[in-house]
Each structure stands twice: as C-alpha cells, then as structure tokens.
Structure 1
C-alpha cells in the first residue's frame, strides 16, 4: 500500500492517524509539492488532479484524505467504530467531515495562507470566518466528548488534524471551551497523535523559513520611498518599515553604511540581500514577488519601454522637480523650463495612452506617480498637460497603496505653504 504524502500536510496527517488506528502499515513516499514532484507524468497517471495525499492499494488509487480515511476503515477496520454502518451515525460523521473541509480548514487557508506568502495574514473578514468556524465547532461539542457521537471516529481524526494546525500558529482556543476540552482529550486518545505532532513541527519550520524578513529603510514623504511602498502593496509584500532620518545623520551610522555604503534611502534588505535606488527596488520586488509579470513584463520590448520611462523619471522628471524643491528658488527660470519640458515630454508619452508604458499599470506608472503626486504639496493645476491630468486622475484610482502615498506626502505639506503661490504662478 503506497502512500504519497508530505508529513506537514493536514490531509496526510489524517490518513497517517487513521492507518495507525487500524493497524495498517503504509509504504510512505514523500512527494515535495514545493518542488513540483506531484506534476511528473508518472504521478499524474496515478492521480490526474495531482494532489496529495494519494493512496494506492494494490493498484487501486484514491485521493482526498477524508475519502482515503473512510476507505481504510471500511476495508481494514476490525469493526465499524471509526465509521459506523448505522446511516444516522454515519450521516453525522459525514457532515463533520464536510464541515472540516469546506468550513474549518477552508477558513485556515483563507486567513493564514496569505501570511505564508507575504508575511501578512488575511483580512478581517477572513479572520471572522475562522472565528465563526470555531464557534460552530464549539456548538457541536456542547456536552459531547467527541465531534460526531459517543466515540472516536474518523471525524475526530480529521478535525484534530485541522485544529492542531491552528495550534502551531498559536490560535487561541481558550475562547472556545468545548473545543479546548475536546482537543486536550483528542491528543491523548487519537492513535498516531505523536506522528501528527512531529509532522506539524516540520510544517512549523517551513513556515518560519517562509516568513518574510524584509526591512525598508525610508522616510514616508520622499517620492522614491513612496514608490517602493506602493509597489510592495501591489505585489502583496509586507515591509518592516524602519524610519531613517538623514537630517539627523541616521544614514551615516556605521551599521547603516555596512548595509548601504552610498547611505541613501530607500534601502531594502530582503533576508540579508540589500538593494537601494528605488527603481531598482521596484524591479526586484516585481520580479521576485509579483504573482505574474504584469508590473514588469518579461517581453524584452515591453520591458525596455518601462526601463526608458524609469530612467526618464529619475533623470528628467524627478531631477527637475527636485532641483526646484531642493533650492526653493522659484525664480530660477532655467529650472522652471526644465520642469515644464519634462511635463511636456510626459504629456507626449501619454498621447492616446492610459498608462505610461503600455496598456496596463506597471512599475513605471508607480514610479512616475510618486514623482507627480509630489506636486500635491503645492496644489498645481495640470490643465496645461491634459494627457498627464487624465493619466494622473486614473492612476490615483487604480494604483495600490495610493492612500499611504498621499498620507506620506501630506505630512510635509505645511512646509511648502510659503512657496505655493510662486510655484503655482510659474507652473
């Protein structure tokens, strides 16, 4: 009897505990789904859904852990105690098994899986589903020692595999006293519990290794920092934000110089890998963490156009803006000419275009949006540049993280009150 599994998987642990309860020996075959081993032609021939766990019993292949568990009981059980033949008792067990799959474990997946990928759990609605699921389970267990009757069944085994998964992420069971009481007993009476817990420790280690350790050294108001924040939002990455005030020389400490010898912000440190210059960071985040390549396509021509716009932003648009803001010399005619020329070029790029580098939002839009939005500080009117104005109005609606971008900007707005009249007049 071959059993394809991963020890940390909840479904795999259900089958292992059920086999232990029946005294059935499994020929365990590790299948690492993270390496795509379930997609080999040999395994797809066994299970076209290419899922684990999968059991092959003398040529008969079956998958989905709860189906495997009930199959094992019916074929190898010395009696029917784990899955009684009585239709009413069996119906309750089946209801609990479906509840486990579609409600309890599904709530775990919706709330915790995002954390494993981004370092941030699901939203408040997903957490509410977790809590509601446990409230249901708590109700089922009112006055009950087991989840589906007066004795241990495959329903207890399946649900203990799920609840123990919540245990390793430190979900608080004390709010659900019936569940807590049942769980304490289930750990004692369920055959194979020790192997279940061992598998969970392996899963916990994987989770810890997947947990993001991504530091962003930044200030909230500069455009480059805001571009990184918006891109991180777009790819679903959680940043550990570390304020670094260069006016106080915090970027010149020996510790920071070791990370970035240019001592500039923003600087990103992703699990020991340090990178700076905001546009390089944007590309890195999109390439490493983007769910697809829409923000920075792999197509060489599309990528080249985005790169051109990023260099335009840095060397022309941002530089012209920075020269005026940095010196505060609103009477500098040459500086005004450079800024106006930059806007005219951007207006040309956007002729007949919804986005600055193609037909969809890319990191070029995010970078240029961070630059253009800086002019919110002086309330400029973009009507001289209608394509820019149209693009900007849309970009504010569709760019993830816009609100945080605006919040960072407005924290500095009063510092620009003095130059605002002169700025608006010249622009």
Structure 2
C-alpha cells in the first residue's frame, strides 16, 4: 500500500485519488496540515525537499507533482495502458493536455483566486481574462471530442476534471463554454472516484467561501468610502456600478444644504467640492462617470461593463458624454432653475429635453442595450438619468425605443432598487 500525503480540498491531490481508483491502488492517506506547518517538518522534508502536496511514497520511492504521480500509478499498476497509452502520438497529446492543465488552466485559477484568498488582494480583471482564455482553449480542444485527449478516458481527463470542478465550486460559469460543459457533465459520470473528488471540492468550497467572500467584503467596506447624498442623481449610478462589481461602499453622508461640502476637511479630498466623491485607500476621485469607469477597471471580475476593445469602449464613452453633456444637462437646464431659483418654465429648454430623447431613441433603435449587445456602464449612467425624468413626469413613453430599453433596464441593471430609492428621495425635493 502506497503512502499518500495530501489535503482533501486540493485539486492536484484529488486527481491522484481518482487515478488510484481507476487503477485499483489503495492509498494509505496521510493528512498534512499546511496551516500548522507540517509540510515543513524535518521528517517530511526528507521525503520531499520541495515540501509540496500531493506526495506519494511507494515502498520507499518518493514522488511529488500530481501529474507525474498519475502517470507513475498507471505505468506501475494499470492493468492496461488505456489511461496513458504507449503509442507515442497518443501519449504526446495526453502530455500536452497535462502541461496545459498545470501551466495554463489551473495556473489561471491560482493567479486569480489565490491572491484574494491568501493575501486579501482585490480581484485582478487581467488575471480573470487569463481564466477565460484558458477555458476558450479547452473549449477548442474539446470541439467534437468526448474526451480530452483521444477517443477514450485518459489521465488528461482526470487531471482536467479535478481542475474544472474547482472552478465550479468557485462559481465560475463553465456553462458559457459549450464543449467544456458537455465534456464535464460526461466526465462526472465516467471518471472513477468522481464522488471522492466532489467531496474534496466541497471541503475546498467551505474554505473558499469563508476566506474569499468574508475577507473580500471586509477589504471593500474598509477601503472604499463614498461621500454622497441619497437624493443626488449623480450618486445613483455609482451605487449601481458598485453593486455590479461587488464593491461594498462605506457611505459617508455630506449634507450640502448645511455646506458640509465646503468644510476644509472635505476640500482637501475634493477641491471642486462636489458629490459623489470616492476615496479608495487614499485615492480620491470625483465626477460620477469617472468613478464608474474606475470601479470597473479596479474591481470588475471581467471587463464586460467597460470592455478593453477600443471600438466598444469608444461607443460607451460617447454615450457617457452624451448622458453628461446632453441628456442630463437638458434636465438640469430646464428643471433646476424652477426647483432652486423659482423661475418659470422655459419652453426652449424643454425642446432641448425632447431633442435629447430623440437622439437617445435613435441610438436605441434595434438595440437591447445602449452601447453594444450587453449591459455596460452606458446603460447604468443613462438609466440613472432617465429615472429622474420619470419622477418629473416627462412622457418617456413617447419614445418607444427608449421606453422599451428603460423597462428592460429596470430588470437587468444591478442595484436598480437602490437607484429607485434615491430617485424617490430626489422626487421629494422636485415636488
């Protein structure tokens, strides 16, 4: 019986457990508590000076690195070579998949999640892109394939299923990759030892949920301050964007009616003395649309709300500037003199509102979203503005494309409820 030093939640350990099951080897499992430093004890360092798990000791022969262990178990104990054929071409493809699993797929998991798990670092959207790229590659490998390397189950499938199941419990959307999803669902049925692998995944999930979500929320709530007023229209898209990227805002009320925005301590943060103002670990930023972009680029798990593609980004920017300089500006020019200066309504300025809505109606013709085919920051900023026109009793329904987009946005924009609550606060001042 081979001794096996391991942790149940470790994906590399789980791939060895499944391979041992497949070749009929019983492992004498020896739990190694890394948090207690057991892997650094002299007796373990004599076995494995690299002090990693999994480590196998088979009748005095010590071996580490999970994929090397998998191959060893098949070559030493396999009744057939089906899991790792002797044919050089078949073996070469399996080896490629094993190195891909180690250096690309599982490495992308480690690069994105481990800094958050173990260093309480914020999510890095560039590292998340590497995960997506890895799954795109795997999706390509599996085009028209039932198995990862050839026409039967091999150690490549076993290694990859251990990794992909780890992504599953981390909440990654495997279903976005049709070929991977089909292969994965089949692999759950045909891989020996899948049940024990899944039990280990659940152990990892407990740790993942506790550390990842708890400490990330603590990090966010401590580090990101937002100076705001509930009724302030520019604050509302910031609420929605923060919700979309999973940042908890530490909201600090600034009562502009009492001139709190003119106090010296606030002027040090923002000499322009406007709200919203964001302070993220000492970095101060104002102007709501600039804040929206910053939140996505700093904290977004993906760049979908503000893509890196120059053309897509340019279109979003155009809509943001349109919202700032045309749509919401038309609201301010027409309604604010009546609200704050007791002025009478100016029909020429009302025409500017109508013109702005005509433009927006044109932009949205045949479009579900304001800038492209998915939800972006353009939708979030624009829906915050259009909701203010709604409580001003402007007839949005006269503009069918705007009206359709607006009704859909209420359902799909994260944080809509908080935007609407703030809009109703604004309505009190408006009325």
Same fold (TM over 0.5): yes
Residue 98 of structure 1 and its aligned partner are, at CA, apart by 7.6
Structure 2 CA distance, aligned partners of 1:372 and 1:251? 26
Check whether the contact 2:241–2:377 (CA below 8 A) recurs between aligned residues: yes
Query: What is the CA deviation profile of residues 171-216 of structure 1, one whole-angstrom value per residue up to 9, with x for unaligned ones?
Result: xxxxxxxxxxxxxxxxxxxxxxxxxxxxxxxxxxxxx7x8750111
Say which of 70, 94, 106 aligns to 2:205: 106
Structure 1 CA distance, aligned partners of 2:44 and 2:206? 32
In structure 2, the partner of 1:255 is: 265
Matched, 1:363 2:377: yes
Matched, 1:224 2:260: no
In structure 2, the partner of 1:13 is: 34
Query: What is the CA deviation profile of residues 76-110 of structure 1, one whole-angstrom value per residue up to 9, with x for unaligned ones?
Result: xxxxxxxxxxxxxxxxxx9xx98983445422312
Structure 2 CA distance, aligned partners of 1:371 and 1:212? 29
Structure 2 CA distance, aligned partners of 1:46 and 1:388? 47
Structure 1 CA distance, aligned partners of 2:351 and 2:373? 30
Give the 3 Å change call, closer, same or farther, for CA 18–334 of structure 1 in structure 2.
same
In structure 2, the partner of 1:200 is: none
In structure 1, the partner of 2:286 is: 276
Query: What is the CA deviation profile of residues 321-371 of structure 1, one whole-angstrom value per residue up to 9, with x for unaligned ones?
Result: 012231114521111111111111111111111111111111011001111
Structure 2 CA distance, aligned partners of 1:15 and 1:249? 55
In structure 2, the partner of 1:381 is: 395
In structure 2, the partner of 1:302 is: 312
Give the 3 Å change call, closer, same or farther, for CA 333–294 of structure 1 in structure 2.
same
Give the 3 Å change call, closer, same or farther, for CA 12–340 of structure 1 in structure 2.
farther
Give the 3 Å change call, closer, same or farther, for CA 387–116 of structure 1 in structure 2.
same
Correspondence 1:63-212 to 2 at 5 A:
101-117=200-216, 119=217
Check whether the contact 1:324–1:330 (CA below 8 A) recurs between aligned residues: no
Query: What is the CA deviation profile of residues 298-329 of structure 1, one whole-angstrom value per residue up to 9, with x for unaligned ones?
Result: 11111111111111111111111012231114
In structure 1, the partner of 2:364 is: 350
Structure 2 CA distance, aligned partners of 1:23 and 1:107? 27
Check whether the contact 2:237–2:292 (CA below 8 A) recurs between aligned residues: yes
Give the 3 Å change call, closer, same or farther, for CA 239–313 of structure 1 in structure 2.
same
- Classify the secondary structure of the residue corresponding to 2:314: helix
- Classify the secondary structure of the residue corresponding to 1:338: helix
Matched, 1:401 2:415: yes
- Classify the secondary structure of the residue corresponding to 2:38: helix
Give the 3 Å change call, closer, same or farther, for CA 287–100 of structure 1 in structure 2.
same
Give the 3 Å change call, closer, same or farther, for CA 45–223 of structure 1 in structure 2.
closer
Residue 376 of structure 1 and its aligned partner are, at CA, apart by 3.1
Residue 252 of structure 1 and its aligned partner are, at CA, apart by 0.9
Residue 15 of structure 1 and its aligned partner are, at CA, apart by 8.6
- Classify the secondary structure of the residue corresponding to 1:404: helix
Give the 3 Å change call, closer, same or farther, for CA 283–46 of structure 1 in structure 2.
closer
Structure 1 CA distance, aligned partners of 2:39 and 2:211? 26
Structure 2 CA distance, aligned partners of 1:15 and 1:21? 14
Residue 386 of structure 1 and its aligned partner are, at CA, apart by 0.7
In structure 2, the partner of 1:168 is: none
Check whether the contact 1:214–1:240 (CA below 8 A) recurs between aligned residues: yes
- Classify the secondary structure of the residue corresponding to 2:275: coil
Unaligned 5+ segments in structure 2 are: 8-30, 54-95, 115-158, 160-192
Structure 2 CA distance, aligned partners of 1:410 and 1:262? 27
Check whether the contact 1:279–1:367 (CA below 8 A) recurs between aligned residues: yes
Matched, 1:292 2:313: no
Structure 1 CA distance, aligned partners of 2:382 and 2:249? 21
Structure 1 CA distance, aligned partners of 2:101 and 2:372? 44
Structure 1 CA distance, aligned partners of 2:32 and 2:221? 23
Say which of 249, 263, 269 aligns to 1:239: 249
Check whether the contact 2:38–2:44 (CA below 8 A) recurs between aligned residues: no
Correspondence 1:416-427 to 2 at 5 A:
416-417=430-431
In structure 1, the partner of 2:49 is: 27
In structure 1, the partner of 2:353 is: 339
In structure 1, the partner of 2:336 is: 326
Structure 2 CA distance, aligned partners of 1:29 and 1:310? 53
Give the 3 Å change call, closer, same or farther, for CA 100–279 of structure 1 in structure 2.
same
* Greater mean deviation of Cα atoms: 219-228 or 379-388: 379-388
The total of aligned residue pairs comes to 276
Structure 1 CA distance, aligned partners of 2:279 and 2:242? 13
Structure 2 CA distance, aligned partners of 1:313 and 1:289? 23
Structure 2 CA distance, aligned partners of 1:409 and 1:46? 49
